[in-house]
Chain A
Amino acid sequence: MFLESDIWVMLAGALCAMSCACVGCFLVLRKMSMMGDAISHSVLPGLAIAFLMTGDRSGPSMLLGAVVVGVLTAVLTQYIHKQGQVEESAAMGVVFTTLFALGLMIIVYFLDHSDIDASCVLYGSLEAAATWEFEWNGYIFKTKIIQLAIILALNVLVIFALFKELKISSFDPALATTLGVHAGKLHYVLIILVAITTVTAFDVVGSILVIAMLIIPAATAYLLTQRLGLMIIISMLLGALGSVLGQLSIIYLLPAWGLPDTFSSGMMTVMVTVFLILAILFSPKSGILFKLIRHLQLGKEIFMNRVLGALYRTEEEQPNFHHLEQIQKTYPVRFKWAIWLLKRNAMVVADGKQWRLTENGEVYARKLVRSHRLWENYIFTNMNVPVDHLHYQAASLEHVTDESLLEQLAETTSLEHDPHGREIPQKKSKD
């Protein structure tokens, strides 16, 4: 059943995911994803102390506490890394776990039985957070949703205002610093944003899943585009979409499959992970599917070239071990397919039970064989490879040789015969 409360849950989730995603992009690009992990845990003592001092659970004091401890995490990590000569990730591991433990202890000792407890920090509750309300002038406002919207606006504003500064300091910190864009200072700007964002996201998705919100949509967007601005926009859209689809699948999909209800934040994370998996499989940049298709295409091309070369050699009446029949015998299916394709491209025509190159086919095949034999010559004269090994080396090179490289080759090896004594087909004058 779709209820009004579901809309609020989706909205809270989407706002949270979008604020996390836009700062997450810079974490991913700066290769400091683990810094998000560290800060989301280490801010706990900051929260606990701020709560202890003010008794206020959602005010600016909490944000201040988080920022102070978030920056402290980064500073301490650098200090231990440099002074203690401990590896950076190890230093980070020491700092954030210690601070997190400190935070847990403060909560258990001083704040037991108050409405801040360890499980609320660890897991959060999207469903509960979406219901918090306050009344002002007779209107009812959703407390958490307003908070999340403010943080999202802040993140977007800072990233928009400092876009080129964040870009250059992420890409080339040394140059940025010499241009007066101090990379170290921007590092802390980012850390402050991460701290504020994670703290606000705590009671929505918890301190563990907030890492997923920071990293997964950003990593997915990274696979889908090659422009920074677009990457940030896509990551935010994916985060929002994950929230909406996550909640919808809780409402419709789970009951349909007879599964019990589950956490909204958990389902949201599962959704964005599904997006990431899809991106890994299908992205144009590194998608497994595209790689496979390219690989198959290359294989097809090389096999067709082999058949063409063999036909040319047969017509030269110099049958040898890469003779047509041998290819046909070894790869009967692929051979039929290649002939079919070559016929369709008007490179080959049937001639009784045999095949013959067409004029087009001959021009093409001549170029292949020329390339092959020139390479054999080149390798033989320059690399001291035994004659019976030449074929394989040349065969792998001939397919990637374009016109200009071919002519350069022809200039360096001005012989008319290859090392086996076979004639090198000359470049045909324009016919």
Chain B
Amino acid sequence: MKNNTIIPLAIRDLTVAYHRKPVLWDIDFEAPAGSLVGIIGPNGAGKSTLIKAILELIPRASGEVLMFGKNYSLVRQRVGYVPQRESVDWDFPVSALDVVAMGCYGQIGWFRRVTSKWRKVAREALERVGMLDYADRQISQLSGGQQQRVFLARALVQDADLYFMDEPFAGVDAATEKAIITILQELKKAGKTVFVVHHDLQTVTEYFDYLLMLNMRVVAEGPTKEVFREENLVKTYGGRLTLLDEALEAMRKRGTMG
């Protein structure tokens, strides 16, 4: 029914400015369907800004964004979003289950209650990320990794075809990292496209099959094997020496691996 051969995300000439100062220049990008796309770049490269501009959370100065060939407002239900974990107040008086159920609100519709049917959906999602035992915990009692998994479960119940995840791997434990990557692989298998803002260059080749290298403009894009190369890393991270070292180290390791 859902046509996944249509390009899930097409961006043309997207420019975003804060106080007239551009933070993203002329972004042109097309994502292939059913891929895991990593968005990498140094701090301040505009990675989160790109996602927020795509989702119309911040105004665009110019440009056009099409999802499945349509405007975002027409395909909201098919697009899922996982904001940065730090963006919310974890002392808010809700349980893990409540947070996951929020992913269903779009499907439930205005003025309606969260019925037991939706709570069941939320429980299933919590189980998929291995958090069912924590369903009734207040969210501040969870560890950082557990909180991230709750966010992931919330994205799962949205049952979208295109996902944007803002640094899901930031500050999580090894078990959570593994749980997230398993889910990402499952989503990919189901033909969904997932965009992930990522920081750890060591794992880029392992996790993503497509890459968008960003530093206020698109430095490189394409299959990870083709674009994750030294000159692109230098261009992306250039001028920030410590990160350059890290990038080159990643290159070196990759070289020894194959």
Contacts and interface: CB of A to CB of B under 8 A. Distances in A.
Given A172-B87, A174-B81, A231-B93, A164 B106 contact: no
A227 interface: yes
Contacts, number: 77
A29 B93 contact: yes
B87 A226 contact: no
Interface string B68-104: 0000000010010101000111001111001100100
B52 interface: yes
Contacts of A168: 102, 105
A413 B122 CA distance: 42
A165 B87 contact: no
Nearest to A229: B93
A167 B111 contact: no
B114 interface: yes
A1 interface: no
Interface in A194-225: 222, 225
A174 B57 contact: yes
B21 interface: no
Interface string A21-60: 0000000010100000000000000000000000000000
Interface string A320-345: 00000000000000000000000000
Interface in A272-300: none
B87 A174 contact: yes
B52 A167 contact: no
A174 B52 contact: yes
A171 B95 contact: no
A162 interface: yes
Nearest to A82: B19
B108 A171 contact: no
A170 interface: yes
A178 B78 CA distance: 11
Given A175-B83, A180-B76, A165 B105 contact: yes
Contacts of A180: 76, 106
A226 B92 CA distance: 8
A179 B56 CA distance: 12
A31 B242 CA distance: 38
A228 interface: yes
Given A164-B108, A231-B93, A172 B102 contact: yes
B93 A177 contact: no
Contacts of B52: 174
B51 to A, nearest CB: 10
A29 B92 contact: yes
A119 to B, nearest CB: 38
A170 to B, nearest CB: 7
A178 to B, nearest CB: 5
Contacts of A237: none
Contacts of A31: 89
B138 interface: yes
Interface string B93-132: 1110011001001101011111000000000000000000
A171 B92 CA distance: 7
Interface in B136-151: 138
A312 to B, nearest CB: 33
B93 A227 contact: yes
Which of A85, A165, A172, A222: most chain B Cβ within 10 A? A172
A181 interface: yes
Nearest to A171: B92
Contact of A171 (B56, B57, B102, B111): B102
B57 A177 contact: yes
A175 B93 contact: no
A383 interface: no
A85 B18 CA distance: 12
B55 interface: yes
A71 B92 CA distance: 26
9 contacts: A29-B89, A162-B110, A164-B108, A168-B105, A171-B88, A174-B55, A178-B57, A181-B106, A227-B93
Interface of B: 19, 52, 55-57, 76, 79, 81, 83, 87-89, 92-95, 98-99, 102, 105-106, 108, 110-114, 138, 154, 158
The 8 A-B pairs of least Cβ separation, nearest first, read: A226-B138, A179-B106, A178-B81, A168-B102, A171-B92, A172-B88, A226-B93, A228-B93
